[in-house]
């Protein structure tokens, strides 16, 4: 497998999220299922609360598909075509991280070979990994999350047994998480024939990821250093809602997660934010308005709507928990195989879950209420071409 060192992690109960004074509390480890049963025509369109007095959805939403979900309760607050299968671009790196990140400790060192970098797609976003240089696994994950580096993904996939093996493991992880709309062909999210995901599935991946302290830390990092030929160089996250750049202000309470772009996928984004004790996830796929920063503006508008609406209106559906048979990595068994309406008046879950799946290399951690502050960061941008 070409692995210099490999360290397995066991599930833990408390995790630190360094997100400008933002912390997540008791996010369940994973999700399975989607929104409530509705006629096919309704499922293909917009699903939103109809309670009297509920805030109207934002105007001008042009994305082909989107979802707003409460990360703590699993309630789906609103969605448009949540199971429409679309190219995900680099938001698929969330599934890559959920699958591979728990396998190697951050301090593990890898000397990059030419084989590690084989097959990087033309025009890919890269962080600057060089053959013959040594990188820690932590360096590589910062390259994945901040710069969407397909070169870093290739090295980590090589450590994991290869490109095809990693794609197969990601597919198995998606299956165990109940994400049935996803087909993995290229683990970095680069456009490949047949590769698709959905707003539902990407929300599931982000939610499972945020239950892992390392994922939560990396996806919320705005600025870091990366080894370069002349010494450490500064890299900034390409998520404009996180860093505040290119005409976008940093979103209040932003946690982060992942943005992406390819020619086929257009702009894609999974954004998580926490305000007033509530954590929301918004996934937006391929806005059609052609407006500058459309994916960020639409995600921000949906987050604003969600924070106004959450807890006051009947959800349109719920995400279901997936439990492991034992904490050390037995087979996963979904609580429910299909979707059901969300109950009124509370969460369907009673506390955090722990998820582990040795076969897919998946281990997620329950999140606690540890609070951390992080300094403000300078602007960062999005790299276009391939995935970003």
| Percent of the chain whose pLDDT exceeds 90 | 67
How many angstroms from the chain centroid is the CA of residue 202?
6
Output the pLDDT for position 273: 98
Distance CA 35, CA 33 (A): 7
Indicate whether 291 belongs to any domain: yes
Indicate whether 5 belongs to any domain: no
pLDDT band at 9 (very low <50, low <70, confident <90, very high): very low
Output the pLDDT for position 125: 97
Output the pLDDT for position 376: 29
Quick check: 326 pLDDT over 50?
A: no
pLDDT tens, position by position, 241-288: 999 999 999 999 999 999 999 999 999 999 999 999 999 999 999 999
Query: Mean of the pLDDT values across residues 60-74?
Result: 96
**Out of 16-30, 62-76, 193-207, 329-343, least confident range:** 329-343
Output the pLDDT for position 311: 85
| 148 a catalytic residue | yes
Assigned token pair, 311:
């807890």
Indicate whether 302 belongs to any domain: yes
Nearest Cα residue to 261 out of 38, 45, 92:
92
Indicate whether 383 belongs to any domain: no
Choosing from 26, 65, 80, 93, the catalytic residue is 93
Assigned token pair, 33:
């299922």
Query: Mean of the pLDDT values across residues 11-19?
Result: 33
pLDDT tens, position by position, 43-53: 449 999 998 88
Choosing from 90, 124, 197, 220, the catalytic residue is 90
The total of structural domains in the chain comes to 1
Output the pLDDT for position 192: 97
Indicate whether 387 belongs to any domain: no
Output the pLDDT for position 149: 98
CATH code at position 278: 3.40.710.10
Task: Write down how long the chain is.
Answer: 388
Indicate whether 380 belongs to any domain: no
Indicate whether 355 belongs to any domain: yes
Choosing from 23, 26, 124, 148, the catalytic residue is 148
Give the range of the structural domain holding residue 286, as residue numbers without chain letter. Answer: 16-50+61-371
pLDDT band at 230 (very low <50, low <70, confident <90, very high): confident
| 185 a catalytic residue | no
pLDDT band at 320 (very low <50, low <70, confident <90, very high): low
Output the pLDDT for position 92: 98
């Amino acid at each position: 497998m070409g692995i210099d060192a490999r360290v397995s992690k066991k599930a833990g109960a408390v995790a630190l999220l360094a997100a400008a004074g933002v912390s997540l509390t008791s996010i369940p480890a994973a999700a399975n299922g989607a929104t409530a049963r509705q006629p096919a025509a309704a499922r293909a369109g917009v699903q939103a609360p109809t309670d009297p007095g509920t805030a109207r959805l934002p105007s001008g939403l042009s994305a082909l598909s989107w979802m707003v979900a409460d990360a703590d309760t699993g309630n789906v607050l609103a969605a448009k075509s949540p199971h429409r299968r679309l190219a995900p671009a680099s938001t698929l790196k969330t599934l890559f991280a959920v699958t591979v990140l728990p396998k190697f400790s951050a301090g593990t060192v890898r000397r990059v070979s030419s084989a590690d970098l084989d097959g990087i797609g033309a025009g890919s976003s890269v962080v600057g990994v060089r053959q013959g240089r040594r990188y820690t696994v932590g360096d590589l994950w910062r390259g994945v999350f901040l710069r969407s580096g397909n070169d870093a993904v290739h090295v980590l996939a090589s450590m994991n047994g290869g490109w095809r093996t990693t794609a197969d493991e990601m597919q198995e992880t998606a299956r165990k998480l109940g994400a049935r709309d996803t087909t993995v062909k290229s683990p970095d999210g680069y456009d490949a024939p047949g590769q698709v995901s959905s707003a539902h599935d990407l929300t599931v991946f982000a939610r499972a990821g945020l239950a892992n302290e390392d994922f939560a830390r990396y996806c919320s990092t705005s600025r870091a250093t990366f080894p370069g030929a002349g010494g450490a160089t500064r890299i900034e996250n390409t998520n404009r809602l996180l860093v505040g750049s290119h005409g976008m202000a940093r979103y209040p309470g932003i946690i982060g997660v992942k943005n992406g772009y390819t020619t086929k996928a257009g702009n894609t984004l999974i954004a998580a934010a926490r305000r007033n004790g509530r954590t929301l996830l918004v996934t937006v796929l391929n806005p059609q308005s052609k407006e500058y920063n459309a994916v960020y503006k639409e995600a921000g508008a949906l987050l604003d709507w969600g924070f106004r609406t959450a807890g006051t209106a009947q959800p349109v559906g719920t995400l279901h928990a997936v439990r492991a048979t034992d904490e050390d990595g037995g087979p996963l068994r979904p609580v429910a195989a299909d979707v059901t309406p969300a109950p009124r008046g509370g969460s369907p879950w009673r506390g955090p879950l722990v998820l582990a799946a040795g076969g897919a290399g998946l281990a997620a951690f329950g999140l606690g209420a540890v609070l951390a502050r992080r300094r403000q960061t300078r602007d960062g941008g999005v790299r276009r071409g391939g995935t970003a």
